[in-house]
């Protein structure tokens, strides 16, 4: 929990500095984030390779785990469907938002293109929040919903930004599941968003 609060405070600090323009605009380019993400991916890959046991442990995991991306998609849609009736946006529009699965950069760009800036902004905020929810509540999720739940909550981010917290809360033996899940989800995001925006 303490770790998550530190993470959130970094986000909040960045947000405030951005709002009040304390930092030159060029810092906030997607390029800088991309290089930091590359460095993160390298470090995560490094720590996996550093423990060859991880890959061996995957064989012990049940083959049913391969269905995890499917339950994540179905569960997400069921959740969004239930709440969609209280908003003025249509159910399909909101299912498109939900289809971001935490992949806020791609989903917000795609949805802005198809449906305009307002729904695009909702997609950005909603998917950032999903990522933050996962980072914050991963330890509680493990306790209440089992060890696969932080991976399901992380959606498409489970092989990059939420990967380290998943490994810390679910255990190292779930790192391959997490990467597999993130990999599959990443591919479904543009497909499902395009589908729901064109219905």
Partner 1 sequence: MLTGIISGYLLRKKKLGFMNGLILTLIWALLFLLGLEVGMNETVVRKFASLGLEAAIIAIAATLGSVIGAKLLWGSIKSHKQ
Residues of this chain, 110-169, that bind partner 1 according to CB under 8 A? 117-118, 121-130, 133-134, 141, 144-149, 151-153, 155, 159, 161, 164
Q: Does 198 bind partner 1 (CB under 8 A)?
A: no
Min. distance of Cβ 163 from partner 1 in angstroms?
9
Out of 5, 10, 171, 187, the only residue in the binding site for partner 1 (CB under 8 A) is 10
Give the number of C-alpha atoms closer than 13 A to the C-alpha of residue 154, restricted to the C-beta side: 34
Out of 1, 5, 15, 199, the only residue in the binding site for partner 1 (CB under 8 A) is 15
Q: Does 1 bind partner 1 (CB under 8 A)?
A: no
Residues 62-81, interacting with partner 1 (CB under 8 A): 62, 64-65, 67-68, 71-72, 74-80
Out of 2, 59, 85, 86, the only residue in the binding site for partner 1 (CB under 8 A) is 86
Per-residue HEC secondary structure of the chain comes to CHHHHHHHHHHHHHHHHHHCCCCCHHHHCHHHHHHHHHHHHHHHHHHHHHCCHHHHHHCCCCHHHHHHHHHHHHHHHHHHHHHHHHCCCCHHHHHHHHCCCCCHHHHHHHHHHHHCHHHHHHHHHHHHHHHHHHHHHHHHHHHHHCCCHHHHHHHHHCCCCCHHHHHHHHCHHHHHHHHHHHHHHHHHHHHHHHHHHHC
Min. distance of Cβ 42 from partner 1 in angstroms?
4
Q: Does 187 bind partner 1 (CB under 8 A)?
A: no
Min. distance of Cβ 173 from partner 1 in angstroms?
13
Q: Does 5 bind partner 1 (CB under 8 A)?
A: no
Q: Does 12 bind partner 1 (CB under 8 A)?
A: yes
Residues 24-43, interacting with partner 1 (CB under 8 A): 25, 27-28, 30, 32-33, 36-37, 39-43
Residues 6+ apart with CB under 8 A from 12: none
Min. distance of Cβ 196 from partner 1 in angstroms?
13
Rounded Cα distance between 156 and 159, Å, is 7
């Amino acid at each position: 929990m303490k770790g998550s609060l530190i993470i959130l405070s970094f986000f909040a600090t960045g947000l405030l500095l951005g709002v009040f323009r304390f930092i030159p605009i060029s810092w906030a380019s997607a390029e800088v984030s991309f290089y930091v993400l590359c460095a993160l991916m390298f470090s995560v890959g490094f720590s996996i390779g550093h423990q060859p046991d991880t890959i061996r442990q995957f064989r012990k995991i049940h083959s049913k785990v391969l269905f995890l991306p499917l339950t994540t998609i179905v569960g997400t849609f069921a959740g969004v469907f239930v709440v969609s009736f209280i908003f003025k946006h249509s159910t399909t529009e909101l299912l498109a938002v939900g289809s971001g699965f935490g992949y806020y950069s791609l989903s917000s760009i795609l949805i802005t293109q198809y449906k305009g800036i307002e729904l695009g902004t909702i997609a950005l905020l909603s998917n950032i929040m999903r990522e933050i929810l996962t980072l914050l509540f991963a330890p509680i999720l493990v306790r209440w919903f089992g060890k696969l739940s932080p991976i399901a909550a992380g959606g498409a981010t489970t092989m990059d930004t939420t990967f380290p917290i998943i490994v810390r809360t679910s255990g190292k033996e779930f790192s391959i599941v997490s990467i597999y899940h993130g990999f599959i989800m990443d591919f479904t995001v543009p497909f499902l968003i395009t589908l729901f925006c064109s219905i």
